[in-house]
Copies of this chain bind each other. A is one copy, B any other.
Amino acid sequence: MQRTLSHHLPVRIGETVRIAGWVHRRRLLKSVAFLIVRDAAGLAQVVVTDPAVRAELEKLTEETVVEVTATVTANDTAPAGVELTDPAVRPLGPPAVPPPFDLYRPALTASLPTQLDNAPTALRHPTRSSALRISAAAVAGFRAALDAQRFVEVHTPKVVSSSTESGANVFALDWFGGPAYLAQSPQFYKQLMVGVFERVYEVGPVFRAEPHDTVRHLAQYTSLDAELGFVADHCDVMRVLRDTLAGMLGTVGERAGGALTTLGVDVPVVPAEIPAVHFTEALAIAGAPADEPDLAPAHERALGEWARREHGSDFLFVTGYPMAKRPFYTHPDPARPAYSNGFDLLFRGLELVTGGQRLHRHADYLAALAARGEPTEPYAGYLDAFRHGMPPHGGFAIGLERFVARLVGAANIREVTAFPRDLHRLTP
């Protein structure tokens, strides 16, 4: 008999079905016992009155995998209006050792470290699995939005020969006896691929040897990267980012509605045009001194409140960050060269995305590196491509876990990461 998933039971009333899943909970009352079976689609209630089946059930601990063949019976007081009666219950493995927390309670009461130590079982809890379902939907939306705008997906090296992009915070590796490094981002490769496909994206792991232990940093995270050529300036990039974000949140709404409900999350609306303020205006709005070189978290919060109040928007672009605070490949604002054609996107007062226009002329790269007192040699393979014709281009990167954490309001990024990696954690 074909397996039936729990959410299909309401349309099978009167039929004999086979379900399978985990023993979510048992309630052994005097005259009747209830077995709640959890499968990928939800929960099913099984009513046990037969003493022999009940004796079996008493041996089946929580999380044991079982198969139940039974009759679907309408019952207005049961979850989803149906329950399974007259069941035969067959374990598909030995009785499970219950995990060190109750998965059937509405919230996981274990501390976050205990949850992370026991990730394979903690992730079975709806609050944890829902965040990962939202994450999967967000990535699907990212790809769909960019596919629709003729971007091509690429896969680039995660091991590189020099620790170039930010120098510090890089993991060193033994590559067949020589030195190598884990890639901190696909930045250089996605730029090179603009020369091939004009528009590219990549979804993949990036590695940061962040020596500090915070609720916002992971040593491996999933970066959603896009890069596009033939832009007039960073505004073209911001328009693509706006449509990509709208696509991501749209797909989250379509594909992960149940997960949103579980977590009590409302999907924010992305305005047709996200409000944008220049860095210098942003300082004024936030009440910061005009010579501040960057926005502090308190400034970002103030800007978030301002965007909500003045524009009814959860999102705000801040453009024109000072060149001194952006990476060497950033394109300056031609009209005010101390400021960049780089931007951040704030979501509810927190930085969510960084992007901008990049340099595209070989000579500009040489000048930018010289101005920073950096040698060109470690960048040789990257720089060379700019001698062979590269269009004006720009792009952005979204940290997936950070995006999901902010969307669901998680206090710690580890709550929305299946198996986080950080300063202290390399297992499970």
Contacts and interface: CB of A to CB of B under 8 A. Distances in A.
A362 interface: yes
Interface stretch (A70-78, A145-153, A314-322): A145-153
A159 B178 CA distance: 19
B222 A387 contact: no
Contact of A220 (B158, B382, B384, B391): B158
Contacts of A388: 63, 96-99, 120-121
B176 A121 contact: no
A153 B140 contact: yes
A400 interface: yes
A246 interface: no
A211 to B, nearest CB: 7
Given A22-B389, A204-B205, A423-B176, A222 B120 contact: no
A139 B160 contact: no
A418 B171 contact: no
Contacts of A193: 123, 418
A120 B152 contact: no
Nearest to A95: B389
A129 B197 CA distance: 8
A85 to B, nearest CB: 22
Interface residues of A, number: 91
Nearest to A158: B205
Nearest to A203: B203
A20 interface: yes
Given A182-B173, A220-B158, A121 B22 contact: no
A94 interface: yes
A297 B142 CA distance: 41
Interface in A37-77: 39-40, 63-65
Contact of A387 (B40, B97, B172, B189): B97
A222 B381 contact: no
A150 B3 CA distance: 14
Given A173-B172, A205-B204, A389 B157 contact: no
Contact of A140 (B63, B92, B93, B147): B147
Interface of A: 3, 20, 22-23, 39-40, 63-65, 92-94, 96-99, 119-121, 123-124, 129, 132-133, 135-136, 139-140, 143, 147, 150, 152-161, 171-176, 178, 180, 182, 189, 192-193, 195-199, 203-205, 207, 209, 211, 219-220, 222, 230, 360-363, 380-382, 384-385, 387-392, 400, 418-419, 421, 423, 426-428
23 contacts: A39-B198, A40-B198, A40-B199, A92-B360, A92-B391, A93-B361, A93-B391, A97-B387, A120-B381, A120-B384, A120-B385, A133-B152, A133-B197, A139-B153, A140-B143, A155-B418, A158-B158, A160-B426, A171-B174, A173-B173, A180-B426, A203-B203, A205-B205
Given A132-B154, A156-B419, 5 more contacts: A65-B391, A133-B152, A159-B182, A161-B427, A176-B211
